[in-house]
Structure 1
């Protein structure tokens, strides 16, 4: 199934009342930057969802740096943006891909079937000289009826089982860059290394200048994984693993889960080993 929408399609359907657009622009280095950039320029009709305020919950001892948001609050925000379970929703960011994919995964988790990521993000949209605005839209509040798909979310206990070798049919994928995977450097988390047994598939290798590679190219990235394998993807805090999750689904893999807490959650348990 195709989860990617091109800018030409969005331009053509910009005024469709059944389509909602979500701007997920964010900077991990400056948490206010995404909102500021949205207020300057965004795709007409786009609502803004903040990674830390809307797409993540409160940070605590466990759960990682970007834990699952409070579902009731997240649904309320969706409803205020005029989104119900039948709305076609397009998410985008500045072109990095990870923040839009995080939103996409969350809606998939809520059982929403008509959610897509804008290929190339705002950068690609601007390259096409397509319209932008600073106007903040308002919508009539919708009613969103979730059908939570728990099969998309891997728990720490599941990851521990796979890591320990008790589940030989499952694969752990570390989505971070190779140097962090190898434990050679760790710019964010308190410990360096990886979850034992994980293989490395850096998330950005599934994109080319913000555009997702074609399904055949994604399949080539994952040729060492059997289609019948159950796959759990993780990264540092469950954000950059989302593009890998999307890429795996685009490549035809059916049994894919996201370990949302990821490495930052794993290391919060003193008994968990690090490789």
Structure 2
């Protein structure tokens, strides 16, 4: 798989910048887990503080981070223009996928994820450390956002009113949330009109690994040759679907605001199966 490495390959890529994005209980900060033990040399990036920007009354709940702020954080890790990055999380998948997408969005090509994250690391018996990374000389990496990897609210609104035959808006939330049977995070249950349900968890197997290419191709067969836009609740779990699509050669674009922004803008939602 082009975006992944197995834990036994880690030593071969020892010159890469290693980043831990483990989540905590209930998708809270995983920094305490990081402090209790992490791979030697790994830096930590927090979903709310590092992988997201400031929430506004017009944004979704996890806006993309500001380019200059994100760049400064990578420079503090010593990152240079041609450096490679290796990411791992707690095995939940979406945190690694979010950082993978952000690095790609900001123009970094050499990015790998440790398959199944901490689940695989611990199963392999790899030792953690509580030592924080040594201070390094500030890096010189310069980032440039690629807006072609995104779709904005207006684009999605146009789709919701008149979906094109070759367009698809994916909803990465659970099927129950898509149907409007439950909504644990927001005040209205349902989905964006004409969105199609593709729960992000279905791209992973029971061990937390991304499924095989054949399984992913079967799962996404209806999306071949389509213009694919990907949403979720707030732009995080959608990245797991984008990652899986990339593995099988299908290009997708993130709707960063996703359902949370859609609700803030008081747009129409529908319930039931809309596909």
State the Cα deviation string for residues 86-112 of structure 1 (Å, max 9, x = none). Answer: 111011110001011101100100011
Q: How many angstroms apart in 2 are the aligned matches of 1:191 and 1:175? A: 17
User: Superposition RMSD on alpha carbons, in Å?
Assistant: 1.4
Q: Residue 220 of structure 1: which of 218, 221, 236 is its match? A: 218
* 1:30 Cα offset (Å): 6.3
* Counterpart mapping for 1:124-273 below 5 A: 124-137=120-133, 138-208=135-205, 209-226=207-224, 228-254=225-251, 256-270=252-266, 272-273=267-268
TM-score, normalising length: structure 1: 0.94
The 10-residue stretch of structure 1 (192-201 or 138-147) with the greater mean CA deviation from structure 2: 138-147
How many residue pairs match? The answer is 268
SS at match of 1:123: helix
State the Cα deviation string for residues 192-223 of structure 1 (Å, max 9, x = none). Answer: 10011011111011001211111221111111
* 1:43 Cα offset (Å): 0.9
Unaligned runs of 5+ in 2: 271-275
Unaligned runs of 5+ in 1: none
Residue 273 of structure 2: aligned partner? none
Are 1:25 and 2:22 counterparts?
Answer: yes
Q: How many angstroms apart in 2 are the aligned matches of 1:28 and 1:224? A: 35
Are 1:49 and 2:45 counterparts?
Answer: yes
TM-score, normalising length: structure 2: 0.94
Q: Residue 97 of structure 2: which of 96, 101, 106 is its match? A: 101
Whether the aligned pair in 2 keeps the contact of 1:161 and 1:167 (CA below 8 Å) is: no
Counterparts in 2 of 1:74 and 1:119: CA distance versus 1, 3 Å? same
Q: How many angstroms apart in 2 are the aligned matches of 1:205 and 1:237? A: 18
* 1:69 Cα offset (Å): 1.1
